[in-house]
Structure 1
Amino acid sequence: MTLYTLFLFIYFCYSFECSPGCIGGCEADNTCRGGCSENYFNDTSCLYCKWVDVTDDINEAFIPNGSYCMKTTNIIVKPTWLPEQKDLEDITTEKIVTFTINENSNADSSFCYYRQKYRLGKWFRLDMKDIHTDALSISITKNPESSAFLSIDVTNSQRDAYTGNCLAHASLNETKFETNMLVPVLNPIYSADSKKDENFYYIFVNVKEFKVVTVSLTIKPVNGKTGVSKFNLTQEVADSLAKDLSKSMYVHFSLEQDGIICYPVCIPNIIMKVILFEVEFNGDYSILIDTRGADRVNYVQEFEYEVNESGYKSSKCLNIWSGKPHGVFADEEPNGVSVRIEGKANTRRYFGIMSEEQRANLNAEVRAICPKNCNSDSGNGDCLPQEKKCLCANGFGGDDCHKLCYYNGKWQVNDYSSLCYFNTSHCDQFCKCEPGYSLVNNYCVSNECKNGNLGSGDECIQNSEGCLTNCMCDSSSGWKISKQKGKCVNVLCGNGIIDDLYMKGKFLRKEDCDNGTNCNSFCHCLDGHSPDPNDPMSCINNNISGGAIAGIVIGGAVGLILILIFFIVLLIFVLRYKKVDINIYKIQQPTYYYYIHGSTSAPPSKTARYMIDPIDLDYGNDTTATAIMDTRFERMEVNNYSRNKWLMIIFHTPNNPKYVFYFEPQVLFIRPHSTPKLLTSYMTLHCTTKIRDMKIPYTIWFSKSKSTLESIANLLKDKSFETWTPEDQVQMDKLCKNVRRHCHYQITIKTDAASSTHIDMDELNMSEKPIAEGAMGKVYIGSYRSVPVAVKQFRWESLNDEEMAELKQEVIAECEIMSKLRNPFIANYMGSVTYIPQVSMIIQYFVLGSLGEYLRKEKEDYVKLPYKLKVRMLFDTARGMQFLHENRIMHLDLKPDNLLVNSLYTDSACCIKITDFGTSRFTKKNNKNSEDKGLGTPIYAAPETYHDEYTNAGDVYSYAISAWELFYQEEPYKEFKSLFEIKDYVESGKRLGFDASIPMLLKGLIQDCWKQNIGERPSFEQICKRLVKLDEDAINHLELDNDVSDGRIEEIINNRTQRMQDQLNEISHD
């Protein structure tokens, strides 16, 4: 037993890739069996070092060292984002500073964010007061013996700033030993109440792992956007690409390591990383530079250098290409640029590839396209860079849109005796056969085809029905490859109609039959049969004797009796058994331990003694995507080719809430010498996720004893690596003595999930801490496919399973409604996550937050808003509410916190977007202990809602309270001590007060909107009309803007924009 245990230990430890942080070995690659040791982040992989919150008071951190995680206690303790002066070293320009980072160095977190928060490094401070150039050149070298991954981070934020701005980031990977950063000289970033008497650049040089490295750092002030081209496209390279248009070369642009940080000449208001490249070629073709394969937003600019009379070299923008898709199909297009560069004689052209991402690394495809400019001057075609080819007019084609020798069934040249039909197999664009093929009757034919055999790529035997001279089915006449090897079948065969069949445009024959009795799959009558005059779809035997007729009569009688017996049995079956519920195929199947010890990987074949057809499953959607929540199925046929052994197949279905794969049966037994067995695979997708090329494993077992196979199945059922015991292994060893063959393979999924609003949680990159909380739940900032989003997670901890399921269905229904609403004044709904218990709703993230964050003095971002902006906000809100009411949707919780600020500028097309309509009903159901009646927030609730009466007029009342709060920028009913006082006050007909400062038009509107009688309140359509007059009247109340500070508004916008960027950086990975 000891030797056996030792064997298992060695097997499990060394059979998989396993992190040193794993306790008890691995059950699969990077999947730990017994959790992670204390230095590691406790997920299933144990690949990452233990995460430490930099805001906590800690005295230790965990840093990678190869595949290990090392603990360090040399932590820099700092009160803000920046260390104290004692942990900074002052540095000056034009001076080389050399230092070493090792295990004794301090560990700290950077203002440029990394997955591994703490890193060993060294801080520097550079005084910028006496620097008057427009850029800094920072040279960094490391000793060649070091394999450290070195990073350099630069910020212009000052000590009292809210956080450090990641102005510049560069790196030296394990194989690179020097780089030069070009960093622009910018104004310092201060806090709002700063004295603004400092101007420093702070630099943090750090290493990714526990590595030793010696670094030399030099800083020089420079002028101008200098930089060295990293890639030169020469005439020789261009001509090489033009010789073979199918050939591509890929150029790697590492902006993280090689990019210069600057304001690009073509986008002078945004800091970007830029890598320069040059192009110099001439020819009648174009060069395409395509970065769409990376699916990341980037830009390409073309510029030229200008030198003035003083010899100063500057840049002038010529062209700019944006990597953001636009147009109707923008959501379906990848990010990235597709730039067509035409040749120019004796001209060197300058380009730059740019990105706002500090760590961007792009692979650009470079290829030649559109030779002879597609002969566009003659009207033959046009160049389509997005498609990487020419689009040719009718009668023209090939790479350059030349006149085709053969088009639309007709020759366009006089002598075609040595030419092949264009667009047929192995015939090139100039109607010449490819090497290895000979010309026969204007077709390109392989040697095997000429000899009556099937060659590689041939579809059918030459001169068989529907088969062309080149052994290809005549698809132009409706012929396709049949299931019977070497034959073609017409697409009309099987449609239940007797059709005329054609070949090469000429009549071939009329179908004998179609899908009837004694009719084969080619619509021919079986041998010895002819078309049935009484049933055109079928065939009958040519000769029927008197005895045969008698036999038919007797057989008919017997058949009738059998039919009666069949219906009786069927009736009994129906009465005894209930109808199968389709929902059973939407639940996860039992887990069977994937036991492959002693097994071989064997695809289906006669050699492997079994066959499964098909093993690539598309569930009927080979050319279309599979809709979410749609249950699809595909039948499979299984053969046992063993002579004397039972076969058992077990499908090890994935247990993943994103989808359900259900096999009926999941465990199948087939006796030897039996006919093929059918099974059905069902698939239900719960979200838009990647499933193409997904593998579902199965195991095959052969034994002479069916009972042995049944025992193995029972032993494996409901077991996993964690629950598999030594006793189970002993029992399996005994059973396997009767197993003659054991192999495994996998089913491959060959379809895609359709685009939908059902989002895959793994595609959401969320913050660890919520940015807001409320009665409804928590809100997190995140990104979904590079788009900033707000993720709302409902707080349903107190619900039981039945209540959870009910509310989940309501949320899904609400999300379906929201997904169909598109209005400028409604927050964009992006989707929801509903396949896990923690239901989430994803909407567009608004950097300026909600209106409620600006209205009360105790709020951090309180600001006095201009009166005209307030009117504009009320107008946008009213237009959004009008849209909701026209679509029969009540908000039920209209208040400033549910009005998202799109802009703080009066002249913007949209200042306010409405959110959270309808979600208050979820809050009410969850709020079991609440004694408050009504939906929504009490201080904004209409009096009738306290009696559960909900109408559009209730939203109008809430709008009035919100308008009062927006104008006065004070909390409504703040002098009241309880909600019960507010309730009694409102139900008695009393309302909030006014002073003399409020314009009469606005006062009158608010008073009408909160009238006690719901029938007297205006509709939002009427409110919109009145707000037009309010807007025109705003110019008469300039005194209301006496305390408005445009500078404060700009400061808030800048701070919130920076805060959002910091939050997104914080959740991004290395």
Structure 2
Amino acid sequence: MISLYKKQRESVWIIIKNTSKYLSFTFNIKQYNMILSIIIVIVNSMNSSTIFCPKGCATKCLTNNTCGRCMVGYDNDNSCMTCEWYNRNLHMTSVYIKKDTKCTRFNSLILKDSWLPPEKFITEIKIDEKVVFDIDESSDIDTSFCYYKDRYRFGKWFKLLYNIKNSSHILFEFSQLNVDKSLVNIDVTNSLKKQRGDCYAHTTSESKTNSKQLYVPVFSPYNNDPKRNTEDFYFYIFIHLGQLSKAKIELKTQVQNSRIFPPRFNLTLKDTMYLSEHPGKFILWNVPFEEHGAFAQPICFPTYRMKYIAFDIEFVETGKLVIDATGSGKMNNLQEYDIVNGDKTTLKCIQSWSGRRHGVFSENEKAGAFVSISANEKVKRHFAFISENQRINFVVKFYVICHENCNYKHGFGTCLPTIGKCKCIKGYGGSNCHKLCYYDNTWQISPNDNLCFFGSERCNEYCRCEEGTVLVNHRCLSKECARGEIGINDECYPNSEGCTPTCKCDSSRGFYMSSTKRCLSKLCGNGKKNTYYDYNGNIIRTEECDNGTNCQKDCRCIDGFITDPKSENDCIHKGLSVDFTIFVVIVSCVFVPAFVMAFAMLIFFITRYKKTNIEVFKEQQPTYYFYISGSINKKLANESLYFIDPITLDFGNGTEATEINDTHFQQIQVKNKSRNKYMMVIFHTPNTPKYVFHFDPQVVIMRPRASSCVTCYMTLYCTTKLRGMKIPYTVWFSKSKIIFSEIALLLKDKTFETWTNVQQKKLEKISKTVHNRFHHYLTISTDAASSTHIDMDELSISEKPIAEGAMGRVYMGSYRSVAVAVKQFRWEKLDEDEVAELKKNVVAECEMMAKLRNPFIASYIGSVTYIPQVSMVIQFFILGSLGEYLRQEKEDYVKMPYKLKVRMLFDTSRGMQFLHENRIMHLDLKPDNLLVNSLDCNSACTIKITDFGTSRFKKKSITNSEDKGLGTPIYAAPETFKDEYTFAGDVYSFAITAWELYYQVEPYAQLKSIFDIKRHVEEGKRLSFDQNIPPLYRKLVEECWRADPKDRPNFDKVTAKLVKVDEEDSQQFYLNIQNEMDNLNLIIEKRSERVKRSLHEIS
């Protein structure tokens, strides 16, 4: 750590911190300016402490993503990243929507009591009718029956009465008439008004698309009612903008009887021939499934109505064409169909493939169709990708494997589509199991003069060199390598150490390419001298050294050095020649006297130099009673009897804040201007654990007309108000020097509370020889830097805790107008060393947490560690913890909608995924440690994780009456009962939390004690399920609480699985309770009022 402090007049002091020692140097101003510019660059690069402050913050951020107040229009959760949540109970037509990254108020929200708006907002259209309309910022705002992350959209509603029989599809065709195209979404449903609005069909129009066609299959909402299945019904259409812009749209509708829709991609005969002729090559198709997919009842999946996209393939080759749609991991299916006699309404299913994986290894395999097809009598074949997910976009890879069917009919090999190549018998290989030209170091064909060794660099399967290479001794070399030079794609110079004849480093012998294009051995650096061999088994060389002194990266000694016989890994100077030795002796005789003198002077200066132990200046100094009775409070003037300069101290940080835990100093010139009196100056230092001002010396006694230098050291232990603080001093004049020592001794260690009348009378008696007394103060003109070290005096805390646990109590508080939660750790039973260890751990943890930026992690404001009552301060959440909503005995209990539960688990998993990526275990994951940021499943973030890692602060020596181990036993993994803590333990805790969130009852409520729970879990038993729980939800929980930690999925996989659980939600609508959103709104209002009252009482 380097700190710079500007001095008055002509010099500058620099402190260089090295552990607990400080060295000081003095430079003139010119030298200072040059050094300053260099050091600032270094310091700025080393100490970047930029706080990330969201755009929605109305006040300065206290820490990353956390400020005191959000701007109007933002969720006032102190992170200020999302627009204000709309409360339907207020029945307001205004809503905040992001415009150019800023939340902006719009006043055209449609008020409605169901998924459909009132009739006056819906325009009826007819078959074969054309309508033209505009959508812009003045349009109505509403929510769609299809899910969008940003719920509120500018759009327009339509309805289409379907009263035509015997048609298969309705074709919606729309075009953008404006020049600058916008992102437009089209959602269609056939749901009845009194039902739930289902997302029946969805498509989107990309910005560059002029027109769009959406095929929607005709399916009556009365289909299951025999009495009404012939009735007319409405299609409802909501067309809306994907982003704030303007769009002029033309919409037309017509009846479509054909079940054949145009293919969106054609893999031609030319394409497949190219793939056959170039093994290893592939063709990619970015499937525009969301935009160009049609809706129908696929011929191979006749009981489903799904979205699909058609494509054609022309293939006549003898190999297998692979259709791989697993790259994105999105679930999709594939069907092959045929058109019967050219009839546009009659299709025939040839075969179908599911993209869902099954079996033991299904977890490690990506979802999606993976198919290999062989050529048949038809040149052009028809295929379609099918999915229930209307919004997926994925990439398909086409390539040919097993050319000529691996010559299976000749017995040379078989095709293995799962690994994408042939399995050939000995002596045969390549893409089609042909007889290899070179096998087992033997040529199998002749002549072979113009062939390369099969398997060598740049040599193809037919022993021919790749284009752009040169054949030399049956090897393929770059043109540069053949000339003894090095090419762009070469790794080393030919004939150099570890380099093969093809200018590649010999990896089989442990060589790799360095940044300088030399081959280095992996053995170099292992601390042992090794011998290198070439590919023929011949010795190349033995290392001269290895990872030692004067040893280079290639394990050779530096020029002029040889292997040290006493330490074979090091190198020493070579021996000197006789002539050079004589020359050294002669020169030494001449210069030895001068050298001795210089050495003596060096010893002299070294003995005078004293290292300063900076720890001394971090200690509080004695308190001297501030006796000012009869003293004159006088600023310095020319006629003053004394001189003190400077009296305003900035410690070199006049314009910048002073970092916490750094020690800074500034020198003060003190001068006695009296001609015949001694002078004593006492600096009355403040006595507080928040900071230390240490004066060296604290008491100065000076003869007449003498001057002295006092150094003031400042160490800050928290972010506190510092600028403008006064440090008083008293000045005493007397002709007797001895009396000052007696006065100082009497005032020492005395305060206003401990000063007695007896001491007062004694001071008055001995002060009779004191002729003049003055007092004034030094003023601090620097600020404490923002940090995670908080001043306890700036915290307002509630009297009663809002939560209590084994490790401490949690209080509601306020810090710089921000609502916070203050966790005070229990320290009463800790000894001095354990308190110090607790402080160290809390500070380290808080600094680490402050650096973590993630929307699913609660923002840590800081900690209070300069007093025995160690506290941690985090962002306060009005909605409290998830645990407050799950039990019926809780005041805020509410039956949560299933979709909200899944979203909460998803956000929790993403937060845990982030923690584990940063190698942080939570150790106590449970609903009480999941803070609720929002109760809206469409919110950007519903859950923020807190208290991760803090269970490690628990006292190590636990009494017999206390439970041993980290975390909460109900949620603890079985291995933690044996004090084994892993990342998989958090996954187990997540499973128990997921079970509790679904059923909203206490886990293991039927068991009587913690010991019963431990026994239950260790015996392999788990919590039970009923028949109503969705299958994928249950499967995820069961996987996460497996007995063996190695069998549990990590949070990467848990997050991916929750995406599938959420997709399953569309089939679990019976678990969503319609009126619960209103109950949630009431709870939000009630809690908000409660918190406001509490904060008012605290302040």
With the length of structure 1 as denominator, give the TM-score of the two structures. Answer: 0.50
Match of 1:900 in 2: 1025
Give the unaligned 5+ runs of structure 1. 1-15, 547-575, 578-591, 596-713, 721-757, 822-828, 835-839, 854-873, 919-1050
Contact 1:850 1:901 in 2 (8 A): no
Equivalent residue letter for 1:360: I
Counterparts in 2 of 1:303-314, with a 5 A limit? 303-306=337-340, 313-314=345-346
Structure-1 separation of matches of 2:325 and 2:575: 72
Match of 1:782 in 2: 902
Matched position secondary structure for 2:270: helix
Counterparts in 2 of 1:453-472, with a 5 A limit? 453-472=485-504
Match of 2:353 in 1: 321
Match of 1:554 in 2: none
CA offsets, 1:527-560, max 9 Å, x none? Answer: 99999999999999999999xxxxxxxxxxxxxx
Equivalent residue letter for 1:268: P
Contact 1:420 1:433 in 2 (8 A): yes
Structure-2 separation of matches of 1:43 and 1:848: 23
Match of 1:505 in 2: 536
2:990 to 833, 841, 865: 841
Matched position secondary structure for 2:340: strand
Structure-1 separation of matches of 2:172 and 2:996: 33
2:273 is the alignment partner of 1:259? no
Match of 2:511 in 1: 480
CA offsets, 1:816-867, max 9 Å, x none? Answer: 726999xxxxxxx998489xxxxx83579789954989xxxxxxxxxxxxxx
2:202 is the alignment partner of 1:169? yes
1:817 to 973, 992, 1013: 973
Match of 2:928 in 1: 795
Match of 1:372 in 2: 404
1:76 to 110, 114, 122: 110
Structure-2 separation of matches of 1:1052 and 1:293: 25
Structure-1 separation of matches of 2:287 and 2:857: 25
What is the count of residue pairs matched by the alignment?
Answer: 675
Structure-1 separation of matches of 2:567 and 2:1036: 71
Greater shift, 843-852 or 403-412, is seen at 843-852
Match of 1:358 in 2: 390
User: Could you tell me how far 1:280 is from its partner in structure 2?
Assistant: 1.8
Counterparts in 2 of 1:167-246, with a 5 A limit? 167-188=200-221, 199-223=233-257, 225-245=259-279
User: Could you tell me how far 1:60 is from its partner in structure 2?
Assistant: 0.9
Distance 1:255 1:544, change over 3 A: closer
Matched position secondary structure for 1:313: coil
Contact 2:124 2:160 in 1 (8 A): yes
Equivalent residue letter for 1:148: S
Match of 1:118 in 2: 152
Distance 1:534 1:267, change over 3 A: same
Distance 1:124 1:441, change over 3 A: closer
Contact 1:158 1:189 in 2 (8 A): no
CA offsets, 1:488-528, max 9 Å, x none? Answer: 56656777888876433344378588869999987899999
Structure-1 separation of matches of 2:100 and 2:853: 35
Contact 2:325 2:394 in 1 (8 A): yes
Structure-1 separation of matches of 2:993 and 2:525: 51
Equivalent residue letter for 1:180: Q
Match of 2:610 in 1: none
Match of 1:342 in 2: 374
With the length of structure 2 as denominator, give the TM-score of the two structures. Answer: 0.49
Structure-1 separation of matches of 2:324 and 2:371: 6
Structure-1 separation of matches of 2:1040 and 2:325: 38
Matched position secondary structure for 1:429: coil
Structure-1 separation of matches of 2:53 and 2:561: 71
Matched position secondary structure for 1:236: helix
Match of 1:424 in 2: 456
Match of 2:1070 in 1: 1056
Equivalent residue letter for 1:817: A
Equivalent residue letter for 1:372: E
Contact 1:171 1:256 in 2 (8 A): yes
User: Could you tell me how far 1:813 is from its partner in structure 2?
Assistant: 8.2
Contact 1:21 1:40 in 2 (8 A): no
Give the unaligned 5+ runs of structure 2. 1-49, 579-613, 616-652, 657-781, 789-851, 859-878, 912-924, 932-945, 956-964, 978-982, 1043-1064, 1081-1099
CA offsets, 1:195-227, max 9 Å, x none? Answer: 999943322222334544444434444446332
Counterparts in 2 of 1:673-688, with a 5 A limit? none
Equivalent residue letter for 1:188: P
Counterparts in 2 of 1:284-683, with a 5 A limit? 284-306=318-340, 313-383=345-415, 385=417, 389-390=421-422, 392-476=424-508, 478-481=509-512, 488=519, 502-508=533-539
CA offsets, 1:258-309, max 9 Å, x none? Answer: 211223223333332101111123223444333333232122211223369x
Equivalent residue letter for 1:322: S
CA offsets, 1:763-800, max 9 Å, x none? Answer: 99xxx997962279998523699999899852259999
Matched position secondary structure for 1:267: coil
User: Could you tell me how far 1:107 is from its partner in structure 2?
Assistant: 2.0
Contact 2:340 2:347 in 1 (8 A): yes
Structure-1 separation of matches of 2:458 and 2:568: 41
User: Could you tell me how far 1:360 is from its partner in structure 2?
Assistant: 1.9
Counterparts in 2 of 1:610-1009, with a 5 A limit? 773-774=886-887, 780-782=900-902, 794-795=927-928, 810-811=966-967, 817=973, 832=986, 841=990, 850=999, 885=1015, 888=1018, 899-902=1024-1027
Distance 1:61 1:796, change over 3 A: closer
Distance 1:786 1:248, change over 3 A: farther
User: Could you tell me how far 1:165 is from its partner in structure 2?
Assistant: 1.0
Distance 1:517 1:147, change over 3 A: closer
CA offsets, 1:575-609, max 9 Å, x none? Answer: x99xxxxxxxxxxxxxx9xx9xxxxxxxxxxxxxx
User: Could you tell me how far 1:110 is from its partner in structure 2?
Assistant: 1.2
Structure-1 separation of matches of 2:228 and 2:91: 29
CA RMSD of aligned residues (A): 6.5
Contact 2:178 2:247 in 1 (8 A): no
Contact 1:902 1:910 in 2 (8 A): no
User: Could you tell me how far 1:353 is from its partner in structure 2?
Assistant: 1.1
Contact 2:128 2:253 in 1 (8 A): yes
Contact 1:139 1:180 in 2 (8 A): yes
Equivalent residue letter for 1:841: F
Equivalent residue letter for 1:254: P
Structure-1 separation of matches of 2:103 and 2:97: 5
Structure-1 separation of matches of 2:272 and 2:376: 12
Structure-2 separation of matches of 1:526 and 1:149: 65
Contact 1:111 1:166 in 2 (8 A): yes
Equivalent residue letter for 2:308: V
Structure-2 separation of matches of 1:537 and 1:489: 17
Matched position secondary structure for 2:273: helix
Distance 1:849 1:128, change over 3 A: farther
User: Could you tell me how far 1:72 is from its partner in structure 2?
Assistant: 3.1
Structure-2 separation of matches of 1:159 and 1:833: 42
Equivalent residue letter for 2:990: M
Structure-2 separation of matches of 1:128 and 1:820: 63
Matched position secondary structure for 2:1025: strand
Structure-2 separation of matches of 1:807 and 1:539: 51
CA offsets, 1:637-671, max 9 Å, x none? Answer: xxxxxxxxxxxxxxxxxxxxxxxxxxxxxxxxxxx
Structure-1 separation of matches of 2:556 and 2:505: 18
